[in-house]
Amino acid sequence: MAIVVFEAEENDRQYLAARFLGEDIRFVPEPLTTPEQAKRVAADADVISVFVHSRITPDVFAEMPALKMVATRSTGFDHVDPAAALERGIIVSNVPTYGENTVAEHTFALILALSRNLHKAYVRTSAGDMSMHGLTGFDLQGKTIGVVGTGHIGLHVIRIAHGFGMNVIAYDPYPNSTLAELLNYKYVSLDDLLAQSDIVTLHAPLTPQNKHLIGAHNIGTMKQGALLINTARGGLVDTVALISALDSGLLRGAGLDVIEGEEIFSEEKQLLGAGNMTEEHLRMALRNITLLRRPDMVITPHIAFDSTEAIERILATTVENIRAFRAGTPRNMV
């Protein structure tokens, strides 16, 4: 069975090669994004493993006629076309849990950076300026945090928030009243959450139904001076609406580990004008450059998942997924 691993870092290579000794396993450092690339390096693949910067479209699937399984090394799977996989009888497995504490901790890293102006202070002191002017922050204790999505990560965020003495409200289309009582939080509508929260943090998957979950239609209802945090998927937030809310002063700031169109920045050649760049790609790139330059933003490059422990859990689950598929008992199917 031929296995091709895309977006393979050195630790991925070492871990996976050691667990598929003597097998036809190949590693590609770049994400899988085009039919030409699929035909060139994975035409004979029975299994491919990808991460979030790959884009497995129907055209890409078409160039891998032997493919039977996609093992994505992520919880989210919006980068794999589900209808095309289903039509071809291809199983798609993900890593449903690996970093609830890891991503939740990074969420609070972004919150604390903004609430205490750590990013501004770092730049200032790096230039030899030790003045305190303009760096006054605010306490988290007593503030209301609105958690959108109460899955594994969202629930861990709630636990940490209580440690800071915060009030917690949540929105989820499938509320769990038992957990709400146990962890001392309250479910409200999304509109009420936006209106009441000093900090809104997103922990929802990206689906066609919730693309731009936060956008022009509702961002104006957010509490004056609130923070918006997104460590989930960039497409949950309409970048144009976010910039407008920051420009107007409605939002105090935003902390993003994911941004719309981040795949444009995943490879330098894409940004410099590869043939598949569209006018909309260019507009999105310009909007994101605008975000990167703002002093009221803290942006990290999709690293909320990226701890030593979480990476090992991701790779271990990926190995288990592939082995289970080969044994005829596929698991973690999406």
| C-alpha pair distances (Å), 324 with each of 27, 42, 71, 75, 239 | 21, 21, 11, 18, 40
Could you identify the residue written with the tokens 């937030």?
237
Sheet with 25-28, edge to edge strand ranges: 25-28, 3-6, 47-50, 69-72, 91-93
Specify the DSSP element, H or E, that contains 298: strand 297-299
Other beta carbons less than 10 A from residue 72's beta carbon:
26
What single-letter DSSP state applies at residue 128? T
Of these residues, 55, 233, 260, 263, which one is catalytic? 233
Contact present, 150 and 176 (Cβ < 8 Å):
yes
- Is 159 one of the annotated active-site residues of the chain? no
Cα-based distances in Å from 139 to 87, 217, 227, 246? 52, 30, 13, 21
Q: Which residues pair with 202 in a beta bridge?
A: 148, 230
Look up residue 193 and give its two tokens. 């959450």
CB of 228 closer than 8 Å to CB of 200: yes
Length of the chain counted residue by residue: 334
Catalytic position from the list 7, 100, 260, 262: 262
88 is catalytic: no
**Residue 132 φ/ψ, nearest 5 degrees:** -100, -5
The dihedral formed by the CA atoms of 94, 96, 99 and 103, expressed in degrees to the nearest 10: 90
Q: Is 233 a catalytic residue?
A: yes
Residue numbers annotated as active site: 233, 262, 302
